[in-house]
Amino acid sequence: MSEKIKPIELEEVSIRFSGDSGDGMQLTGTLFSNTSALLGNDLATFPDYPAEIRAPQGTVGGVSGFQVHFGHSKINTPGDYVDVLVAMNPAALKANLRWVKKQATVICDIDSFDKKNIKKAGYNEDPFLEEDLDGLNVIKSPISTLTRESIKDLGLDNKSILRSKNMFTLGMVYWLFNRPLEYTEDFLTGKFKKAPLIIQANKRVLSAGYHFAETIEALNPSYIVNPAKIEKGTYRNINGNVATAWGLIAAAEKAGLNLFCGSYPITPATDILQELALRKEFGVKVFQAEDEIAGINTAIGASFAGYLGVTTTSGPGLALKTEATGLAVITELPLVIVDVQRGGPSTGLPTKTEQSDLFQALYGRNGESPVAVVAASTPSNCFEYAFQAGKIALEHMTPVLLLTDGFLANGTEPWLVPSMSDYPDIKPPIVKESNKDYQPYARDENLVREWAVPGTKGFEHRIGSLEKMNITGTVSYVPENHQLMTDLRQAKIDKIADNIPKLEIHGNKDADLLVVGWGGTYGHLITAVEQLQQEGKSIALAHFNYINPLPLNTAEVLKSHKKIIVCELNMGQFANYLRIQVPNINYLQYNKVQGLPFTVIELTDHFNKILEEK
Amino acid sequence: MVETEVKFTAKDFKSDQEVRWCPGCGDHAILNSVQRAMAELGYKHENIAVISGIGCSSRFPYYMNTYGFHGIHGRAAAIASGTKVANPKLSVWQITGDGDGLAIGGNHFIHLVRRNIDINVLLFNNEIYGLTKGQYSPTSQKGAVTKTSPYGTVEPPFHPGELVIGAQGKFFARTLDGNIKLTTQILIEAAKHQGTSVVEILQNCVIYNDRVHAAITEREFKDDRQIVLEHNKPMIFGKNRDKGLILEGMKLKIVKIGENGITEKDILIHKANENNPGIHQMLVNMRYPDYPVALGVIRSIHAPTYEVSVEAQIDKVQKETNIKNMDDLLRSGNTWEIE
């Protein structure tokens, strides 16, 4: 065993763990991330898994990946290209080689590179010859063999033995980056409480991997990524879907109401439904409906009864909810509709990310039917914007569409846990018993109607899907009244702008190039913009979380730049929306619909090109 | 449901809105029966929610002096489910028709019944789409000539009772729009039943399907063509109360008391609370001219309701948990300190 050379300090590192769906790569990646977070690194993660639950073993379609990007400085994305790729089989190598940096380390389980698997992955005979591996540090390790060897005396069956080979890999990666094993060991002890043999096996394999990497000097010198200078406080890892669920509960708590969620399972939104189903301690009533339509209609029925009604879905499900969204618009009931966007149209790319539901959110209903639209921009701020969506819905008596996406939903990051005392109260306009002349459609200064809930004596009234008479809320077919009510419903949404924060600009107010984004692209856009700012370029970012209405200072921000480029993961929906809302500006566009996030490098390349153009 | 000490009359449940159904429409009588039933039940107005979809019958909530929600086509069951699950103390009444409830809303209908949420479903069955002016519905008899089936329909109809039993329904009753006394009585039983109660009301559309139920409602025939079932009583019918039902092999058979040695003792006794739906299934499927049409409460069995079970789970978790608010949750599980 040779002396370990003093490790090299790195600013940031990306690792992608990949293997067959059953190889435990998601867990491996999560354990590595948690260990790094405990060491004080900032980080971001993103899982990449197939739409099929168990795609044919060994095929490229069945490859499951987990990427983690951790660093000594602020980390905003899971990283474009990786420094280390773990490929547990030939298919994983085939699927992921395009994501490695030029001098990356590639760890393969050479035992799984047999004839059968090589063919299944679509190689002819030798993947290592057929791929261009120039410059890469390829570590062909007999991971399966060594795993078996290290626990052969424990009397486990072959299946259980091979199931722990991911721990061998994890052990190797821990050694590469000088990480301790304790967190993972504690996790294993907790997870397999009832199976001491499995704990022993996994711990032994983990340690075997660690020492194997040391013995073969897999990387010499190894690397260190020092803790980031991040704010003091209590942290936890959170993904966008859990943050969304918690934000909705927090909104109900601040409003003093109960939460009702009527939803139908749909990728990638299902985790919100599942998380809410767990949270019975908050009295959350979760109704797994027979379809998307019943999901939203039960939520509307619950809102009618005085709950904060929410429904959670993804693009195709939102399409099914359009008619009922209109019902919430005309009945002016509070409702939060969460759309975790995925690749479309139709079933499209269910497990991939996209921002192509914006027009559907803004306009996808019959009639003049405005709703508020809010978008989260990081996994953890899904909490903030779910909370704000609930606040707007309750205080303005309107449906609110909260847009997240597959990238935010499944991505995780460390989150400085907030205190609920930092969040504002939510004051729904519940009718006061002293109000003797209650009229269902009388409005306050924000044009918001009062909410009289069944069970409240003296306020019995009827609401419904037919046009309402102004103030009284009875059915009305009067032409002028329909015009008036249409105007009022629009003005009510417009007035929300008075209660949302102004648009902030990252960079100089008069930068030559203003990058405009919205929602889940924030991490990539800010990283790209900051990189160019450090290079002295005149560039700034304006990133939108409030889409309808837009912040009041939007025009002011947009009009002070030579060039504006709107970047989004669709073919230009927000750019076109801005052309309507803030006309007479030349909006350039940068669009991508590949089911993937932007990469920082493609953004910086493109921005540089535009900055150079006269 | 807490009953009030004040005595109500049917009039107390009328709203100030002008009733706009066609003159002679069966809905007027049904509205009358519902208001009578509510007065007799004595529920407070503020604790009643009447929820509908779209169709002629779905205008109902506007005419009730209670909380009301006129929804969208087919979705009354879903809206009502949300309202009842949110607040189980409310008395929730879903008004729907054969199109609203069994075509566009068919999915919600069967799932409501399966879940057994305590909602009273009033299914107005006139075997036609009235509001869109005369197209066949999922309950129109095969061969029915309507505007969209000028040569007669080629599809068999749903029988609501059969659908309810197929969806594991716990309460099914049938009545006629014009029989206010029977309807009122059935509605009271439906309201008191804990769980989804489906009441099929054979309703006459004077404009687009007039006399659709005439064969069983005509005064001179009705006693021979209807059988009003009562729990624990023999299944006897006929103008002279001399006809009854017995089980022969796998089928119900009409017999005459006094003939072939048949006495009243041979006649089947109606057991609405029998769990096994076998006989109930046969009763809901009896059709003129082979059988008399069964009216009354055909099936009424006790089972846990969805909304009560939901609250029981919540109560249990709330008693056991250490997480009392969002701050607790935020700091629960895997967290770490950066100092």
**pLDDT score for A1:** 42
Is B328 part of a structural domain of the chain? no
Is A190 part of a structural domain of the chain? yes
- The answer to whether A131 and A97 have CB atoms below 8 angstroms apart is yes
Residues of chain B contacting residue A302, judged by C-beta atoms under 8 Å apart: 82-83, 85-86
- pTM, whole model, 2 decimals? 0.96
Q: For B150-179, what is the mean pLDDT? A: 98
* B111, B250: one domain: no
* A572, A490: one domain: no
Is B316 part of a structural domain of the chain? no
Task: With CB atoms and an 8 Å threshold, state whether B86 touches A230.
Answer: no
* A398, A515: one domain: no
Is A96 part of a structural domain of the chain? yes
Write down the residue that tokens 């929820």 correspond to.
Answer: B51
Report which DSSP code applies to B167. T
- H helix and E strand count, chain B: 11, 12
Residue A330 sits in a domain of what CATH number?
3.40.50.970
Residue A560 tokens, joined: 């002070």
* A218, A239: one domain: no
Give the Cα separation of A164 and B237 in Å (integer): 74
* B130, B92: one domain: yes
Is A3 part of a structural domain of the chain? no
Write down the residue that tokens 């879940």 correspond to.
Answer: B115
Task: With CB atoms and an 8 Å threshold, state whether B90 touches A455.
Answer: yes
Q: Which value does ipTM take for this structure?
A: 0.97
Residues of chain B contacting residue A290, judged by C-beta atoms under 8 Å apart: 107-108, 111
**Domain range enclosing B185:** 10-233+270-306
Q: Provide DSSP, B260-314.
A: TT--GGGSPBP-TT-SS-HHHHHHHT--TTTSPEEEEEEEE-----HHHHHHHHH
User: A232 at the B interface (CB within 8 A)?
Assistant: yes
* Strand partners for B337: A234
Task: Give residue B256's region: left, alpha or beta (phi > 0; psi -120 to 50).
Answer: beta
Q: Distance of alpha carbon A433 from its chain centroid, rounded? A: 42
Residue B38's alpha-carbon distances to B31, B49, B67, B89, B170, in angstroms, are 11, 12, 13, 16, 22
Residues of chain A contacting residue B88, judged by C-beta atoms under 8 Å apart: none
* Strand partners for A107: A86, A139
The last residue of one of the domains, among A500, A517, A552, is: A500
Optimal mutation site among A248, A280, A331, A466, interface B, most CBs of chain B within 10 A: A280
- Output the average pLDDT for chain B: 96
Q: Which of B82, B107, B334 sits opposite A309 (nearest CB)?
A: B82
* B117, B153: one domain: yes
**pLDDT score for A223:** 86
- The answer to whether B119 and B90 have CB atoms below 8 angstroms apart is no
Q: Is the pLDDT of residue B3 over 60?
A: no
* B34, B148: one domain: yes
* A157, A212: one domain: yes
* A143, A46: one domain: yes
Please report which helix (H) or strand (E) contains residue B199, including its range.
Answer: strand B197-202
* A16, A123: one domain: yes
**Domain range enclosing A598:** 505-612
Is B322 part of a structural domain of the chain? no
The residues, ordered by sequence, that sit 6+ positions from A429 with a Cβ below 8 Å of its Cβ are A395, A397, A444, A448, A449, A450, A451
* A297, A440: one domain: yes
Residue B202 sits in a domain of what CATH number?
3.40.50.970
State the pLDDT confidence band at B5, using cuts at 50, 70 and 90: low
Is A403 part of a structural domain of the chain? yes
Give the Cα separation of A429 and A147 in Å (integer): 63
Task: Give residue A600's region: left, alpha or beta (phi > 0; psi -120 to 50).
Answer: alpha
Give the Cα separation of A347 and A349 in Å (integer): 6
Is B329 part of a structural domain of the chain? no
Q: Is the pLDDT of residue B81 over 60?
A: yes
* A264, A197: one domain: no
User: A334 at the B interface (CB within 8 A)?
Assistant: no
**pLDDT score for B7:** 83
Q: Name the residue with higher pLDDT: A55 or B29.
A: B29
Q: Residue B203 CB: number of other CB atoms within 10 A? A: 29
Is B185 part of a structural domain of the chain? yes
All residue ranges of chain A with pLDDT < 50 are: 1-2
Residue A537 sits in a domain of what CATH number?
3.40.50.920
Q: Is the pLDDT of residue B2 over 90?
A: no
State the pLDDT confidence band at B4, using cuts at 50, 70 and 90: low
* A479, A535: one domain: no
* B251, B129: one domain: no
* A575, A493: one domain: no
* A214, A238: one domain: no
**pLDDT score for A3:** 54
Q: Residue B22 CB: number of other CB atoms within 10 A? A: 14
* B52, B196: one domain: yes
Is B312 part of a structural domain of the chain? no
Report which DSSP code applies to A449. B
Is A229 part of a structural domain of the chain? no
Task: Tell me if residue A253 falls in helix, strand or coil.
Answer: helix
* A68, A41: one domain: yes
* Interface list for A 233-252 with B (CB within 8 A): 233-237, 246, 249-250
Q: Is the pLDDT of residue B162 over 60?
A: yes
* B72, B210: one domain: yes
* B240, B123: one domain: no
Residue B240's alpha-carbon distances to A323, B221, B224, B258, B290, in angstroms, are 54, 12, 9, 12, 19
Number of structural domains in chain A:
3
Q: Distance of alpha carbon B267 from its chain centroid, rounded? A: 27
Alpha-carbon gap: A203 to the closest alpha carbon of chain B (Å): 20
Residue B272 tokens, joined: 């609405």
Q: Residue A519 CB: number of other CB atoms within 10 A? A: 26
Number of structural domains in chain B:
2
Is B84 part of a structural domain of the chain? yes
Please name the residue of chain B whose CA is at the shortest distance from the CA of residue A231.
B338
Exposure letters B305-334 (e unless 16+ CB within 10 A, then b)? bbbeebbeebeebeeeeebeebbebbeeee
User: B89 at the A interface (CB within 8 A)?
Assistant: yes
* B147, B242: one domain: no
Is B228 part of a structural domain of the chain? yes
Q: Express each pLDDT in A441-471 by its tens digit.
A: 999 999 999 999 999 999 999 999 999 999 9
Q: Distance of alpha carbon A104 from its chain centroid, rounded? A: 27
The last residue of one of the domains, among A164, A193, A224, is: A224
The last residue of one of the domains, among A183, A198, A224, is: A224
**C-alpha atoms less than 13 angstroms from C-alpha of A231 in its C-beta half-sphere:** 8
The residues, ordered by sequence, that sit 6+ positions from B19 with a Cβ below 8 Å of its Cβ are B28, B31, B63
- The answer to whether A268 and A315 have CB atoms below 8 angstroms apart is no
* B259, B156: one domain: no
Say if residue A268 is preceded by a cis peptide, omega within 30 of 0: yes
* Strand partners for B64: B14
**pLDDT score for A21:** 84
Q: Express each pLDDT in B238-285 by its tens digit.
A: 999 999 999 999 999 999 999 999 999 999 999 999 999 999 999 999
Give the Cα separation of A440 and A588 in Å (integer): 46
* B261, B123: one domain: no
* B130, B147: one domain: yes
